[in-house]
A and B are shown apart, each in its own frame.
Chain A
Amino acid sequence: QSMLTQSPSASGTPGQRVSISCSGSASNIGNNYVYWYHQQLPGTAPKLLIYKSSQRPSGVPDRFSGSKSGTSASLAISGLRSEDEADYYCAAWDDSLSAWVFGGGTKLTVL
């Protein structure tokens, strides 16, 4: 059972805006930054999309944005494209566990 809670699936049509949520607790999201990764093929390394809750690494399109409020966070993707179809994971450091914790992942389908 994942420490962070994500909806297992999300979908949208090209051009739409979709949002993926991530819920945690005071010891992880409530007290630390949230990071978002996507993984387009199961055997490939996850790619960082958002760091420090709302910052984009260079090379990540500004269609991707992150936010955090209290013990929840969200990733928004605007102008949805077929290549955005992937699994999306949130992550945060958990102070009580002294461990990185992940969400269970959200499979995004572009219809």
Chain B
Amino acid sequence: QVQLQQSGPGLVKPSQTLSLTCAVSGDSVSSKSAAWNWIRRSPSRGLEWLGRTYYRSKWFNDYAASVKSRITINPDTSKNQFSLQLKSVTPEDTAVYFCARSEQWLGDWGQGTLVTVSS
């Protein structure tokens, strides 16, 4: 049973960087069959996939076009976790953020973190 546990601040000031971490148990972030995703849900945009990182003999990333210039997703193999950094946030980035594991589909999800962008 794969479990994903999210952590990170719930309040970020405009123009600063949003940072969240997703700790993985029951699988390895270095798995050659899984990918590790970040998704958010907001009232205005619904569910929005942000990006993923995955290992296939080397590390790869895919990012959504809407956030590509501002996003970084990094694995931390020493702690078996992965992180999301979203730079230069605005109130439009206020959302519930989820991490999720995918093989053929987005199957295992974290509990969600409400992140509010406000001064």
Contact = CB atoms under 8 A, between A and B. Distances in A.
Contact of B105 (A44, A48, A97, A104): A48
B112 A102 contact: no
B105 A51 contact: yes
B105 A89 contact: no
B49 A100 contact: yes
Query: Taking each of A42, A98, A100, A103, which has the highest tally of chain B beta carbons within 10 Å of its own beta carbon?
Result: A100
> In the complex, which range does the number of interface residues on chain A fall in?
20 to 34
A58 interface: no
Contact of B109 (A42, A45, A103): A45
Contact of B46 (A43, A45, A48, A105): A105
Task: Give the interface residue-count category, chain B.
Answer: 20 to 34
A89 B47 contact: yes
Contacts of A89: 46-47
Max count, chain A CB within 10 A of own CB: residue among B41, B45, B62, B111: B41
Interface of B: 37, 39, 41, 43, 45-49, 62, 64-65, 96, 98, 102, 104-107, 109-112, 114
Interface of A: 2, 33, 35, 37, 39, 42-46, 48, 51-52, 89, 91, 97-105
